[in-house]
Amino acid sequence: MKTFDSAVKIQRPVNEVYGFLADMNNHKDLMPENVIDWKSTADEATFSIKNMAKLSVKIGSRLENKEIKIVPVTKPPFDVELKWTLAPAGDATSAVFTISADLNMMMKMMASGPLQKLADEETQRLAARLNMQTG
């Protein structure tokens, strides 16, 4: 299992960050431009990655103010899990986004760059989105 991590500090209390991430409708704002046809509920999302694949994911588990795991609804080309881990950091929140993917050697060569970019982009967009909001 290969993991791709990206960490960020959000200038918001952990319960606000958790509340945002616990609703799949909000994840659309974290996606890069090549994610299209987004449809979601609070627990599930379906979307396409332009010129690649259509994916369906759902919240697999929520641990209030600590962790959110997102798992595929249908079998993807490789096993994958997305996880947000949150921790209080004074008045702020430390957020780590981890993509765990079971990649064979060929997929590792093709997908490692895009998966790390996705992890980095989601944390940067989360910080930009929540740090710009006022209480």
Note the pTM of the prediction, 2 decimals: 0.91
Class for domain 2-132, per CATH? Answer: alpha beta
pLDDT exceeds cutoff 50 at 91 = yes
Number of other residues whose CB lies within 10 A of the CB of residue 39: 11
pLDDT exceeds cutoff 70 at 115 = yes
Structure-token pair, residue 63: 């641990």
Share of the chain above pLDDT 70, in %: 97
Per-residue pLDDT, averaged over 81-97, amounts to 96
- In our burial notation (b when 16+ CB lie closer than 10 A, e otherwise), range 44-60 reads ebbbebeeeeebebbbe
pLDDT, one tens digit per residue, over 28-86 is 999 988 889 999 999 999 988 777 678 899 999 999 999 999 999 988 777 889 999 99
